[in-house]
């Protein structure tokens, strides 16, 4: 149930996306993301925001067109709307899976 990722990827967003995709595999309990961005990049909140946005876009169970992402430090704040509470929870879980995210303050409103 533990996935260990090693090697090189073309940037921080690729590193983060690979980690999230590993988390999406059924039965995975932990992901050790040892991928190295080449060339090295300095991390910043905008890079976390970009990764969360791409992950939400790639999740087939989340319609992300009404979701906005804010990042302060390593805290992600998704806002907007989803079609259901389950979809809201999936977006929350996706944000938590992104390497570098320390907190998710989910303010997405599910449809009633």
Distance CA 29, CA 9 (A): 23
Tens-digit pLDDT profile for residues 48-77: 999 999 999 999 999 999 999 999 999 999
Residue 112, pLDDT > 80, answer no
Task: Name the packing angle between helices 12-23 and 45-58 (round to 10°).
Answer: 40
Structure tokens at 102: 């320390």
Tens-digit pLDDT profile for residues 2-52: 999 999 999 999 999 999 999 999 999 999 999 999 999 999 999 999 999
Residue 34: which H helix or E strand, with range? strand 30-37
Structure tokens at 12: 């921080």
* pLDDT tier at 111, thresholds 50, 70, 90: confident
Q: What pLDDT, on the 0 to 100 scale, is given for residue 21? A: 96
């Amino acid at each position: 149930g533990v996935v260990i990722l090693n090697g090189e990827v073309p940037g921080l967003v690729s590193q983060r996306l690979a980690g999230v995709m590993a988390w999406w595999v059924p039965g995975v309990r932990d992901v050790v993301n040892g991928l190295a961005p080449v060339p090295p990049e300095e991390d910043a909140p905008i890079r976390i925001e970009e990764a969360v946005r791409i992950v939400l876009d790639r999740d087939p169970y989340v319609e992300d067109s009404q979701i906005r992402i804010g990042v302060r430090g390593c805290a992600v704040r998704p806002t907007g709307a989803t079609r259901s509470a389950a979809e809201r929870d999936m977006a929350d879980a996706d944000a938590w899976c992104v390497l570098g995210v320390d907190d998710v303050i989910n303010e997405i409103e599910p449809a009633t």
